[in-house]
Amino acid sequence: MDSAEGLLNVVDVEATCWDGQPPPGAVSEIIEIGLTVVDLGRGERVGRHRILVRPSRSTVSDFCTELTGLTQSEVDTGVDFDRACRLLAAEHRSGSRQWASWGDYDRHQFTRQCRATGTVYPFGHRHTNAKLVFTEAHGLRKRPGMAQALTLAGLPLEGRHHSGEDDAWNIAALVLDLASEGAWPSPSDS
């Protein structure tokens, strides 16, 4: 965790996707980065952010729009991936601040896309898989999806599921719930 601020970045991305295989030459690319800043010391969400990202090697399919609510014309107004990563570093201290996501998909997608584009990876090494922490804290055999975890925790799903901004906000609520139960790892554990 960012020791000076005591903050955690909770990140959720949405990426181009298709019902089946991608069209020839297309690859899954991040089109939205949702980021909620959590102050674990105060036990609250203190920032809610959204970065739209313009894809360069794919387009938003009808299936993707139905799932995420994002359209091609909307993501065309976004920044390119390199700029999005620089914004994460400059505005959200992503290189030095601990971060979390629901599962490892988001971390792996950033790794793949940074490698493919030659973009500097925007995050530090202190990542927490919130899905794994939740699963262990609740003694579950299977790792639940975020919406199911909210139900299990007795928390509401706020906003639209599969919106990066809304999902990051909801994951942050789960993180705070885990922290209130003493189940969230301390900064020295990560």
Domain locations along the chain: 7-184
Q: What is the pLDDT of residues 75-121, one digit of tens each?
A: 999 999 999 999 999 999 999 999 999 999 999 999 999 999 999 99
Q: What's the mean pLDDT in 17-34?
A: 97
Element of type H or E holding 149: helix 146-153
**Is residue 78 a contact partner of residue 39, using CB atoms and an 8 Å limit?**
no
User: What pLDDT band is residue 4 in, cutting at 50, 70 and 90?
Assistant: very low
The CATH fold of domain 7-184: Nucleotidyltransferase; domain 5 (3.30.420)
Angle formed by the axes of helices 164-180 and 130-137, to 10°?
40
pLDDT reported for residue 128: 98
**Mean pLDDT value across the chain:** 95
Element of type H or E holding 11: strand 7-15
pLDDT reported for residue 6: 85
